[in-house]
Amino acid sequence: MPTSGKSTVCNLLAKKLGWPVYDIDRLIEEKEGIPIAKVIKQKGRDYVIKLEAESVLELNLENTILAPGGSIIYGKNCHGHISRQSRVIWLDVPIEAIQERLADDPNNERGIIGLEDSGLMKLFVERVPKYKALADIKVETADKTPEVVAQEILEKVN
């Protein structure tokens, strides 16, 4: 889910492991030359979902950290690739924390696919079962610092 700390935790893990990080939103922004929110507004949800999946399929994920956007669950053609080459960690964040963290982004400048169409609660209810189904490991993030979450992930994967 948005604001779960994916980017921060991924960067911490990358530093600890000495592995590269692939942040899919940043890769899309580099390719398109504009922020992800503008890509979504200008080219649409389906285009971005397709681009996310294509970006992932181009990567060798062994000994890397992948930071996909939360909408990666909609690009089903890349799920097998991710599962074969990596472990999927779900950063489970309570809806209340997401609401609080998104309070400073009323115009969806982050570019969260589905937020404007469905609202946060519907998006949460829709996505959580999908994250659960794809995840190898679940890490609850409520009231934890990114450093604690990263350490917990390292302990669970080793």
Q: Is 23 within a domain?
A: yes
Domain limits at 54?
A: 6-157
Q: Is 105 within a domain?
A: yes
Average pLDDT over residues 116-136: 87
Q: Is 46 within a domain?
A: yes
Q: What is the pLDDT of residues 42-75, one digit of tens each?
A: 999 899 999 999 999 999 999 999 998 888 888 8
Which DSSP string corresponds to 8-61? HHHHHHHHHHT--EEEHHHHHHHHHSS-HHHHHHHH-HHHHHHHHHHHHHTS--
Q: Is 29 within a domain?
A: yes
C-beta of residue 57 within 8 angstroms of C-beta of residue 36: no
Which of these, 81, 48, 88, 51, lies nearest to 67 by C-alpha position?
Answer: 88
* Domain CATH for 140: 3.40.50.300
| Confidence band of 108 (pLDDT split at 50, 70, 90) | low
In the chain, how many domains are there? 1
Q: Is 1 within a domain?
A: no
